[in-house]
Every structure is written in C-alpha cells, then in structure tokens.
Amino acid sequence: MMESRSPICNTCGEEIGVKSNGEFFVACHECSFPICKACLEYEFKEGRRICLRCGNPYDENVFDDVETKTSKTQSTIATHINNTPQDSGIHARHISTVSTIDSDLNDEYGNPIWKNRVESWKDKKDKKSKKKKKDAKTTKPEEHDAQVPPQQHMEDMPPNTEAGATDVLSVVIPIPRTKITSYRIVIIMRLIILALFFNYRITHPVDSAYGLWLTSVICEIWFAISWVLDQFPKWSPINRETYIDRLSSRFERDGEQSQLAAVDFFVSTVDPLKEPPLITANTVLSILALDYPVDKVSCYVSDDGAAMLSFESLVETADFARKWVPFCKKYSIEPRAPEFYFSLKIDYLRDKVQPSFVKERRAMKRDYEEFKIRMNALVAKAQKTPEEGWTMQDGTSWPGNNTRDHPGMIQVFLGYSGARDIEGNELPRLVYVSREKRPGYQHHKKAGAENALVRVSAVLTNAPFILNLDCDHYVNNSKAVREAMCFLMDPVVGQDVCFVQFPQRFDGIDKSDRYANRNIVFFDVNMRGLDGIQGPVYVGTGTVFRRQALYGYSPPSKPRMLPQSSSSSCCCLTKKKQPQDPSELYKDAKREELDAAIFNLGDLDNYDEYERSMLISQTSFEKTFGLSAVFIESTLMENGGVPDSVNPSTLIKEAIHVISCGYEEKSEWGKEIGWIYGSITEDILTGFKMHCRGWRSIYCMPLRPAFKGSAPINLSDRLHQVLRWALGSVEIFLSRHCPLWYGCSGGRLKLLQRLAYINTIVYPFTSLPLVAYCTLPAICLLTGKFIIPTLSNLASMLFLGLFISIILTSVLELRWSGVSIEDLWRNEQFWVIGGVSAHLFAVFQGFLKMLAGLDTNFTVTSKTADDQEFGELYIVKWTTLLIPPTSLLIINLVGVVAGFSDALNKGYEAWGPLFGKVFFAFWVILHLYPFLKGLMGRQNRTPTIVILWSILLASVFSLVWVRINPFVSKTDTTSLSLNCLLIDC
C-alpha cells in the first residue's frame, strides 16, 4: 500500500532513503519525523540526540542497514506531489478549512509546492464533480482503506523553502547526559530502597503501639505513591530555544505585508474594587504596545461584573494608549506596562542614545501620573453607589446597574473606530465585553466568561491564536508573542501544538518567598519534565492557544498516525472499514462528528453514503456551536480571518447575540468546546481534554520572563488561593473527567502524562495522611510509645539509605533544573502548611458539594497592597484555615516539653528513645515555621481569636500532661500490694 517515492527530509530537502528491506528510513519511531541519514548524523555529531518534533531520544541503532536512493530535484518533487492520488483521498479532508482564506495561505508560506497544492485543492472544490471523485477513488481503492504511512504526514505541511538548519524556528536542548543519567539512576535506587523499607516496616510491627504503627505505615505508603506520581513525569526534562530572527526573516520580508498570524488577547476581570482598574489598565497597555504588527493584535477585556468603573477606566486607558504605544515602540521600552516601567530602579539611560529620550520620558511620566489621578478619581467615585444607579455621560442609565440581570454589552474603543495614536499610526483593537446575565441561568464564572470571549472574538476578528491573561498579569517581554509563534507557526513543530504555556513570574514578593508564592519548583522543574512527554499542563494564564484546538478538533496528523489496529480514539475519526451503525461515530465521542465538520456543507453531494454519514449537517453544527451562522462559518476557517465584505455593524449585532445567556443551551460549549465546565480550576480540565484528543503543548521559557503578575503574599490570602486550586482538583476527581479513567480507551494520553494529571487531582487527599503523620510525634512523646521498633543493623542501613536517596534525588534535581536549595525548602515547607490546612478543607468541601450539593462561593483574591514595601506580608486575617496548623504546632511543642520532662524523670536510659521522637516532632515544627512566623505578624498584630484558640488548646493539653504526671515516678502496683501484705497492721 505504501508509495515507492521516498519522503523528503525536512532539513535538507533530499529523500530520506530506504533500508535494505525496502522500508523507509525512520529516525524517530514516536512521531516519524522525516530526516535523512546525513542530517541525523550531523545532529548526533553536534550532541543533539532528541527528536526535534516530539522530544523523544533517537534509537542508537537507527543507522543500521540504510541505503539511500538517488535524490530528485525540488521541481520534480513538487510535480509528483501535485499529481499524487492522495490529494483526492485523505489529504483532501481539509479543503474547506481554507475555503475563504486560500489566498492567505499562499501569501503566508510563499512556497511553490504549497501554492500548487492549494491551487489543486481550489480546482477540485470549484468543479464539484461527483463522477470525477468516484473515478479517483476507484483508481486505487486500496489506498483509501490503507493507513497512510507516518512518513507522508509531513507532506500536509508546507516544506521548507530554504535548505539547512536556518529554517528551524526552535530546537530542543536536551539535559546533558551526565546529569540526567545519574538522576534517573538515583530515582531507580530510591524506588528499590522504598520497596525494601516497606518490606521491613510491614514485617516488623510494634505490638505495644499497634495502632500508631499501622497508622504510620498507611501514611508512608500513601506518601510513596504520591512521590511516584510526582517524580516519574520528570523522567525526561528538556529545554527549548527559539529563533525570533528567523521567524521575522520568514514571515516579515521587506516591502511585503507581514504574514505573522493574528492573535486575540483575552483579559478577564470581575470586581474592580478587588482588582484595581489601574492594574488592569497596565495589563491592557502592555498588550497594545507589543512588538507585533498592530493589525494582528486585538485585545478583548471581559468585565464579568458589568461595572461602570471598569468601562470608564477602559475609556481612559484607550485615550492614554494613544501616547504610550508610540513612545514604547520608538524607544523599545521594557516592560511596556507604565506602572512597572517607571518603578524600575535601573539606569534608564542605558542603551538609549536618542537626545530626545530624556525629555519625552519626563513628559510621558508626567502624563502617566495625571492618568493615575484620573483613574484614582474614578475608583473613589465608585466607592458609593447612587440610589438611582449609575448614569453614563449621555444621561442614560448604565445597563449593568443590576450585576445579575443585565443585557450583553460590547464597545470597540480602538481599531474599528479609526482612533489612531498621536503620531497618526494605527492602534491595535481594544474591545470591552460584558456578557448577558439573567436570573435562572448558570453562567459558569470565569470559564463561561472565557467562552463568551471566544465567540465574540471569532465574530469580530477571528484570529487563529488566542492568548489569555489574568487582569494582573502584564506583558513583561514585548516579544513574547513572537516566542510563541516560533512554535505555533513552525510547519513541523506547530501542527500538533494546541497551546504554548509560559511560566508564571511575580512581582512584589519578599526575597525569602516565605509562602512559596513564586512556585519555582513547579514552573522550573515539573513543567520542564512534562515538556519532554506530551507538554505542560495549562495553568490558567500566560497561554497562547490554537483556536481550532479550543473548538474540539483533533490535531490534523493524529488520526492518520494511529496504527491500523487502533480501533478507539479519544476524540477523532480514523478512516477504516465502514461501520455497521453510523450512529456509533457520535456515541463514543461527540468530537468525532466535529472532526468531519471541516467539510463544506455544499459539497455533500460529492460523497457516497458512508462519507456523507461522516459529514456534519447544519442542524448538527447548531447543536454543537450554537445558533449563529456567522460564528459557525468562522469555525471552518483554520487560519482565521473575517470576510472583507461583512458590514462591521452587522458583526457587532451578531457578537451581542453570541454572548447572550441562553446561547450555550443545548450546545457543546463547556462540555467539549472551549473552556470546560465542572470545576473552578477550569484550566486543568481544559488542558487535559486537549491532551486526551492527541494534542501536545509546548513550554516556553525565554530569558526575559514573558509575563509577570502579582501574588497574594500574606498568609490568609495565600491559603485561600491554595484552597481554591485544591477544591478544583477534588471536583475533577469526583467528575467524569477524572484522569484515572477518562480517555483510557483512546490511547492518546501518554502514560507519564496521565500520571502527571492524576497527581494534579489526588494531591489534596494527601492532607489526610499528612495531618495524621504530623500528629504522631506529639502522641508518641505524650504516651512514651513509638512507631518504630528497636532498630537492627539492617534496619538502620535501610533508614540511612532512604534518607540519603531522598537527599541525592533533590540535589541532582537541583543540578539539572538550576533551582536553588532555598526554593526547594520553601516548597517543602508550604507543601506541609497547605496540606494540613487548605488541602484538608478542600477535601471536605468537595465531598459536601458532591453529597449535599453545598456549593462554595469563589472569592476573588485581592490585588491591592499596603503602601509600605511588603506591608501586606504582615497582615493576618482570621480564617478557619489557620486552626489545623495552629493545633499541630501547639500539640508538638507540648509533646516536646512533655518528652524532655519524662526523660529527666526516668534517667539516662530514656534519652536514646527520646532522640527519635524529638527529631520527628522537630521535623513537623520546622516545616510549620513559616506559618508560625506569619501567624505572629509584625508588632504583636496577631488576632485575638488566634490567641484565645491557642490558650484553649494549650490548656487542654496541659491537663492531659498533668494526667500523665511525668515528674512522678511510675509505681509498680504489683509490688505495692505485696508490700502491703507483709505489713502487720
């Protein structure tokens, strides 16, 4: 069934050759990346032994038994591709995705081979001859039933126009073998030591304290499982490097219009009193001033609280942007958020040689100060709502006076309105969106707001890529979008990429990072490990999405890459034998029908009965995407764009329609399309669904952080933030999307990737054994019992080996990741603090929500801060989350005092057993030390309720201590009775 023509090497353009057995030379057996032997040898010589596309290591025996065929010229190859019968078969399934923008494809790649293919597609589409299609099918009928060889999948993408490595927009930089090999060896050694350790623990129970021993063993087993779930997804970490200059040379040629893909930015806000408008304004200004073609950028601001303050602040922001954007681009300002640029304590004259810079900078800073005054005046005005409600400048009532019952609102500030900057240049589009809210409708909070933005942007601009940001995450690197495009627009790497995730970085955090707000271990270790498997998880902000992936489509190559024996897939169709019942195509996964939706509805007559059953009807389109013909048409445009003939006023009316509160009813929104509903952590769920469909994601870590945000640095707000994340994980665990079983039949999610997702939803349950394990030291000290029997030499060696393996694993992890030991220690400390407080509450709230239907209201984390530097760090707000860790601290401190008192009373022989118990207790106290420090605040600002609770607990345990009476020697009742018998009364 395989064609005799050898596929083309993606690097040099030559044929990849065949082996002596007649099979094509395949370098990577994971993704079948087409590369010839000569280019692969060069990669090995340069020390790059990992596939450029999927990141998996090459087989060491890949060079065995290879014969190269005589290469053909590029023009001959182009002719052969254009005439191949495959164009009338499976490759033709993507014809309609470019039905209204075929000319854009030609301009984008400027490649004769790709251009000829698109032209051939156009001819076939215009003829619409059913007879011709049937003839083409009967020429080689076996080719339709045969699985297309993986080597031919790359032909669907535009080949490189220039030979050599200069065409590569990004490369994978593997971790040096000396670091990663020793790291993996230690992991395996630790796994073996754990097995021996548990063998000893289970076979050597403590009869005198059987309950304590059993509890400790159960907890330790759970900790070991958690370690496996967390450790093994970091088995193959990688780094990536991008080449922005090559991106510009390919898509931004001199004298030609930029062919870079358009991007729609989403900024979400709810309550302007908790999320200050000035912070949102800085985020919007940093987007409008991006180093990217202005006609390719559109910024959508979602005001889910329908606040007039948000609207008026955006009016002021749009006006200030007319001055700020040209200033940033003229002098290459970084960062392009004015609040953070003017607060930088650096020499701002460095690298600025223009004589006018100082004068213009001073003028711009003065304009920004005036802008802040106007924004603060709006905030002060909004503190008290008038009884008759807010009124706009034209005298009409503000439509959003009732935040729970108001119509949809859209206002285009820049772009369509023709507003230009002070130098007369065009500005990016800026659109205000507030979706309709009505009583009795489920609005799904942030996920619903994001889906409304997806539909609005599809109607108004329909960019092929979407970048979503929280309102407090500004663009810190003006070239961040170009970094993402090095992956998404790469014809080799980008075709199966659903999103590019950037790490989260934060401002305003104290140097010691007391509560691990930076989360360095997760972003610099775990995410890089996942990038070597199937890609990082979606973390909610700083993510560039492919719009087609949000619509529920599967990656273009995935259906054809599955082997013939693979009969199930998570979300897409593979063309195999005709099914007995066509309805089964929709039964297993509703996305299967969407994969066929890329056909034009007018071409139904061109297909036979089987293929017609796979096509989607207009009724099915509406059931899937909703009742909007304009939006449905936009979903067929793989490369985005809006027809030039459409009237903008008509688009605004349609945009209002798609954000109505009843639009999503009886559709797939939130189920298979867009941001997925069912959890307050919709980010994890949305990324998980995409990975299950076969997409992969990319982790991009530029030297200059792409985005920066603000984090809640005080203890109470931090715990509430962690509570929300943990509660979302529990909700996913209790839903049908649980990674333990969801998507297992499709085989699209790799095993280690599934382990990572399982870890993201089961980690809150570690709080139960963690609380028990942190209580055990105090119980052991108060009762004189211990969870471990007297150690033998072998047992001592096992315990010592376990501790050494734990230390070595951490040290080697720090070595390849570059994370500091302080960051690792802070992460460990807050793992305990959050585990015994927020995670514990999340487990109980999750079960209450499932069993009793008690929903937990989402509280927006306040973004305001004290005027004093790190002033918010010392604020202590009373919350029930503080009770469990406070209790654990007190009982362990009381236990330590009781243990020493008992040892003093018993004598020298009691100090040996005491050492292990006290070490155990101090382990808990040291991990909870940041919590204790945060609880005390500054200058005795601890809340009274905390003091009263502490005194109450201390009194209770003091009474227990008195009951034990450690200072009085224990009397042997048997000998006492014998002595009484000898006394002659």
Catalytic residues: 304, 683
d(CA 829, CA 811): 17
Which two tokens mark 698? 């990319």
Rg (CA), the chain: 32
Specify the 3-state DSSP secondary structure of 515.
Answer: coil
The tokens for 889 are 């601290």
Specify the 3-state DSSP secondary structure of 268.
strand
CB-based contact 597:624 (threshold 8 Å): yes
Q: CB–CB of 296/262 below 8 Å?
A: yes
What are the helix and strand counts (H, E) for the chain? 37, 15
Cα–Cα distance between 95 and 438 in angstroms, integer? 41
C-alpha dist (Å) from residue 907 to 209, 894, 904, 969 = 22, 20, 6, 11
Neighbours of 859 (CB within 10 A): 13
Residue 565 in tokens: 């024996």
The angle at the Cα of 718, spanning 716 to 724, to the nearest 5 degrees, equals 105
- The DSSP letter of residue 397 is B
DSSP bridge partners of 543:
468, 501
Run of H or E residues at 497: strand 497-501
Which tokens hold the place of 53? 């596309």
Query: What is the C-alpha separation between 101 and 365, in angstroms, rounded?
Result: 44
- Distance separating alpha carbons of residues 96 and 898, to the nearest angstrom: 77
Whether the CB-CB separation of 513 and 826 falls below 8 Å is answered with: yes
- Concatenated DSSP letters of 854-923: ---PPPPPP----SSTTGGGG-----GGGHHHHHHHHHHHHHHHHHHHHHHHH-GGGHHHHHHHHHHHHH
- Cα–Cα distance for residue pair 775/951, rounded to 1 Å: 19
How many Å apart are CA 826 and CA 934, to the nearest integer? 14
Outline where 818-855 has alpha helix (H): 821-835, 838-852
Q: Which positions ≥6 away from 816 have C-beta within 8 Å?
A: 175, 176, 179, 180, 183, 237
- Amino acid present at 644: D
- Helix or strand or coil: residue 470? strand
CA distance 111 to 120: 14
Q: Coil, helix or strand for 238?
A: strand
Buried b or exposed e, range 534-572, using 16+ CB within 10 angstroms: bbbbbbbbbbbbbbbbbbbbbbbbbbbbbeeeeeebbbb
